[in-house]
Structure 1
Amino acid sequence: MKAWQADPYRFPGMRGLPEGEEASTLSPPSPLSGPLPGWGRPPGGLAPADRRRLDLHACLTTAGVPPRAGDLHAIEALSTVDDTTYAAIRRWITGTH
């Protein structure tokens, strides 16, 4: 096994790649070549509630208020509000006008 080849049991996404002589003619993927086809973000990106939840964690942490374990339910509830309400919550946390 060459150094750049991955064990398919440790890296299940590597299954189905060429093996044997066919693989010996391939060069290792370049880190600059971009993601492999079929990999990357799921179609459509994040759901709005997931995006707001991640953003809320980031806003609180940036404001010096790292969320505690008990705050996760509140963050989950706040991430389900509409965009206008969420913009107001974010404005309150960050102190921007």
Structure 2
Amino acid sequence: MQAFTTGHAAIQDLDPYRFPAARIEEEPEMAPTVVGLMDHDDYLLPAPDPTTRLSMPLDPADRRRLELHAALTTAGIAPLPGDLDAIKALCQLDDSTHAALRRWLNHAL
């Protein structure tokens, strides 16, 4: 372990990426922003209003497709573009078969 020297030279020797709080006198101090990542032309989106949400039920095949994509993402499996036809075919199966498929994917972790 190396001991740091005291004084001005020690602050300049600190890596600004590893020690972002170390201030270098030659650089101007940046003004803080929201989360520190927003530019001057960025703006925050308002929170969604639950009363304006559409109340359309999903088709069972669409619900199964979303659940299968979520299970694949959780398992770390990225479907290839050619796999979309297989996913569409799997989503046409009944709910119990689809639940078994998701259970298998969850145990594959």
**TM-score after normalising by structure 2:** 0.50
The partner residue of 1:54 within 63, 66, 74 is: 66
| Aligned-residue RMSD, C-alpha | 2.2
**Pairing of 1:1-97 with structure 2 (within 5 A):** 31=46, 34-35=49-50, 39-43=52-56, 45-95=57-107
Count matched residues.
63
Which 4+ runs in 1 deviate beyond 3 A?
A: none
What is the percentage of aligned positions where both structures have the same residue? 54
Unaligned runs of 5+ in 1: 1-30
Q: Deviations over 1:29-81 (max 9, x none)?
A: xx568256xx42243x1111000001111110110101110110000000111
Query: Which is higher, the Rg of structure 1 or of structure 2?
Result: 2
**TM-score after normalising by structure 1:** 0.56
